Amino acid sequence: MAFLFLAACTAKLPVVKVEGGLLQGVPSEDPSVIVFKGIPYAAPPVGELRLQPPQDVIPWDGVRECSAFSSIAPQPGSARGTFYGEEFYWMPQPEQSEDCLYLNVWAPAKAVGKKGAALPVAMWIHGGAFVNGYGFEVSMDGDKWAGKDVILVTINYRLGENAAGNLNILDQIKALEWINKNIAQFGGDPSNVTIFGQSAGGMSVRTLLISPLAKGLFAKAIIQSGGGMGLDQLGSILTSAPQVDGSVVPEPFDQAVMDGTIADIPIMTGYTSDDLPFFKEESVGAFCALRDSLGTAPVYEYEFTRDLPGEDKDVPDILPGAFHSAELWYVFGTLGRSWRPFTEEDYALSEEMVSAWSDFCKTGSPGWPEYPFKKVF
């Protein structure tokens, strides 16, 4: 990955000091937002560090200009020619490298460099069945979130065979540790971090909720199409899915919920109406009902029902309705990047969802009643 080192005295944009050295961001598509792309949160997991737990960042000299996204974790070839390829991966695939442990930060320009700003922070964990994906896919962007005064962090983590032994979860924990140590430099509040993810990212959130190594690193959690109860067997058959190993994941998720060892924090969880069967109402509802019966921190349920427009487009094996992952365009407010003929109704729905997600990050409530109420979008 190419990056540019500049002298701090010539910088016109804010320069922040983080673990490892100095960083300079660039204006985002929204000029009121500064984005820092490709920040290392761990040492490159190559050479002697290959297939090892993530280690501390290697310091650099000068000012690192964060104007380009990093390489992504090695993964299978192009998805072009498939439905999901045409939906989310139609741009040229980024360079792949085992040197992939980088994150990206979107923050309001007015907050960068101001430790006292204490804005809420959200860390996004991408999906992809633990073998695909990255933190800056076309649907993922932080401008709308920063416009709501929430700092958005997206991460890459190791995938597939490079993530064996829960290295993917250890990477995510390392990113959370980096956020706790450094996010105040961007105007963020390290005591108010929300983790959220979709599909494999949602399953990762479930794992972080029960991992003792992640305890105290986040204050709220959102599980999007990542399921609830009864998915432990599914996790055991997905390549590189988190496994019980006694340290990172000491017990199955279902048992942790019943034992009360899951983090006692506000949780929002939901699914799409045409989601994968094991991520839908039976699994999510069972989790919400149990959490509610235990008298723990609040749990909020939602269902995304919007049938995405454009089913008449000539796309291979096009999925109808509110398919698995359909809500991503709305949650990040990136509808304008899609080929779909989104309407004013869609943009209004996206605004409603960005507001709900960001409100949850701020207050622990998305703006609707706790379970057994279910919000339908």
pLDDT tens digit string along 243-264? Answer: 999 899 999 999 999 999 999 9
pLDDT above 70 covers a percentage of the chain that reads 95
- The candidate with the shortest Cα–Cα distance to 284, out of 211, 225, 356, 199, is 225
Task: Give residue 290's pLDDT.
Answer: 96
pLDDT average, residue stretch 212-240: 93
pTM (2 d.p.): 0.94
Task: Give residue 1's pLDDT.
Answer: 42
Q: Measured between alpha carbons, how far is 245 from 259 in angstroms, rounded to an integer? A: 18
4-376 CATH pick, 1.10.10.10, 3.30.360.10, 3.40.50.1820, 3.40.190.80: 3.40.50.1820
pLDDT average, residue stretch 351-362: 98
pLDDT average, residue stretch 277-294: 95
C-alpha to C-alpha distances, 283 to 137, 270, 307, nearest whole angstrom: 28, 10, 22
Task: Give residue 78's pLDDT.
Answer: 63
Task: Give residue 9's pLDDT.
Answer: 36
Task: Give residue 370's pLDDT.
Answer: 97
Q: Which helix (H) or strand (E) holds 6?
A: strand 4-6
Task: Give residue 3's pLDDT.
Answer: 41
Token pair listed for 371: 């379970």
Kindly report the average pLDDT of the chain as a whole number: 93
**Main-chain dihedrals φ then ψ at residue 289, nearest 5 degrees:** -65, -40
Give the model confidence (pLDDT) of 295-343 as tens digits.
889 999 999 999 999 977 776 677 889 999 999 999 999 999 999 999 9
Task: Give residue 79's pLDDT.
Answer: 67
Q: What angle do CA 365, 369, 373 make, to 5 degrees?
A: 130
DSSP state of 172: H
With a cut of 60, say whether residue 86 has pLDDT above it.
yes
Those residues with Cβ within 8 angstroms of residue 90's Cβ, 6 or more apart along the chain or in another chain: 80, 138, 339
Domain boundaries, the chain: 4-376
With a cut of 80, say whether residue 58 has pLDDT above it.
yes
With a cut of 50, say whether residue 120 has pLDDT above it.
yes
Give the model confidence (pLDDT) of 134-178 as tens digits.
999 999 999 999 999 999 999 999 999 999 999 999 999 999 999
- The candidate with the shortest Cα–Cα distance to 67, out of 102, 38, 44, is 38
Token pair listed for 41: 């949160």
Those residues with Cβ within 8 angstroms of residue 156's Cβ, 6 or more apart along the chain or in another chain: 70, 72, 73, 100, 101, 102, 103, 126, 134, 135
Task: Give residue 5's pLDDT.
Answer: 40
